Amino acid sequence: MKRLVFTTCLAAMACSSQNEAGSGSWSKPSALPFEARTGAVTVWTGSEMFVWGGLGPCGLSVTCGDGGRYEPVADSWTLVPPDPGVPGRFGHSAVWSGTDILIWGGKCGDKGDQPCTAGARYSPSSNQWSPLLGSTPPGPRSDHTATWTGAEMVVWGGRDPATDAMLADGALYDPTTALWRPMSSAAAPSARRYQSAIWTGSEVIVWGGDGGDRFLSDGARYDPVADRWTPLPTAGAPSARYAHSVVWTGTEMIIWGGQGCGDAPGGGPGPCGDGARYAPATDSWTALSQRDAPLPRAGHSAVWTGSQMIVWGSSFCEGGPCAAGGLYDPAADRWRPMTTQGQPALRGDHGAVWTGTVMVIWGGFSAEFPLPDLARYTP
């Protein structure tokens, strides 16, 4: 996990007052029934938020092998028990298949110093784990992406935990047949980690990330039926970055924020406060308005409500640590501020899901300490 370091707030009023008169409301429901952590996976199943794994400490271990399911209507948790056959991990991925959670990759071992060589599937209906079976899986990796196509999980990119080498390969897993199949490498993006990936309904779109010796501003579309990559245009695309957010609106991919824009105070790459929308139908990018946008940041979360993107939190914000967020309406190309009244403590690398009516955020870290709380935002 790449740590994003807080900078000193150069303008205290800018950090504390931004978005105080914003819209929406915050509430604080049940606390986590398990130990605080960061770097866990967060998946929305349609009725529950699934949280699992991450960095603790969890008991005597740094890696966590437990988690929970949060039901927002009842404001209740169901513990996800650890399983001897499913080692704790971080830097892993998870997708919802419609019936099961599919876990893949990451760093395993009590101290997170061993590659995870196998995956697992979790059934909410039985509250039980089972092996992720299948021959010829992709090689061990962390900090990769995984997307669900409706029939297969697509795993791509990341970093080899044993060698630290960036990866440019992947594979598709069909849980019905328990079979893996390789992905074509022709016209695929270059090796990278911390890239974004979304499913459009017909293609996986991969963009940006950390290439090891440089940040990246390119990407490609992958058609799993044809097993074919198509490079994205670079004209109008956002500048190179990683730790950015991505949402799919139904017609466009929206990229916003991230790290890699300019220099931060004290050295190192600075946060980004811009973004763009990519439309597969026209194969073109459109810049997002920056008027009234949240402060530049990385390590934040973003969810799509059906009509707007909600951006919140940060582990690295221009001018200092800032928790204020914003709502972006692509139809009007307009930002609106979120209220800060009643919002939870500042954090980065937290989990966030959209339930259909509220955004639920949980966990993450603040000043290098994992947080154990949960909060809900109603636009």
Note whether residue 83 is domain-resident.
no
Where do we find the tokens 């960061």?
A: 38
Residue pair 232/206 in contact (Cβ under 8 Å)? The answer is: no
Note whether residue 311 is domain-resident.
yes
Note whether residue 314 is domain-resident.
yes
Q: CA separation (Å) from 153 to 148, 180, 263, 346?
A: 5, 9, 37, 33
Counted residue by residue, the chain has a size of 379
Q: Are strands 196-199 and 301-304 parallel, antiparallel or unpaired?
A: unpaired
Q: Region 78-103: what's the mean pLDDT? A: 96
For the chain, percent of residues with pLDDT exceeding 70: 91
pLDDT of residue 3: 39
The pLDDT tens digits of the residues spanning 167-226 come to 999 999 999 999 999 999 999 999 999 999 999 999 999 999 999 999 999 999 999 999
The pLDDT tens digits of the residues spanning 269-296 come to 889 999 999 999 999 999 999 999 999 9
- What is the average pLDDT value for the chain, to the nearest integer? 90
Identify the three-state secondary structure at position 80. strand
Domain count within the chain: 1
Note whether residue 112 is domain-resident.
no
Residue 305 belongs to domain with CATH number: 2.120.10.80
Please give the Cα distance from 345 to 29 (Å, whole number).
14
Note whether residue 38 is domain-resident.
no
Of 203, 309, 212, residue with least CA distance to 256: 309
Residue pair 322/15 in contact (Cβ under 8 Å)? The answer is: yes
Identify the three-state secondary structure at position 15. helix
Q: Is 2 a residue whose pLDDT tops 50?
A: no
Report residue 15's pLDDT band, with 50, 70 and 90 as the boundaries: very low
Q: Is 44 a residue whose pLDDT tops 50?
A: yes
Note whether residue 282 is domain-resident.
yes
Q: Is 323 a residue whose pLDDT tops 90?
A: no
Of 256, 242, 251, 343, residue with least CA distance to 293: 256
Note whether residue 197 is domain-resident.
no
Report residue 265's pLDDT band, with 50, 70 and 90 as the boundaries: low
Give the range of the structural domain holding residue 335, as residue numbers without chain letter: 1-30+243-379
Note whether residue 376 is domain-resident.
yes
The pLDDT tens digits of the residues spanning 213-253 come to 999 999 999 999 999 999 999 999 999 999 999 999 999 99
pTM, rounded to two decimals: 0.92
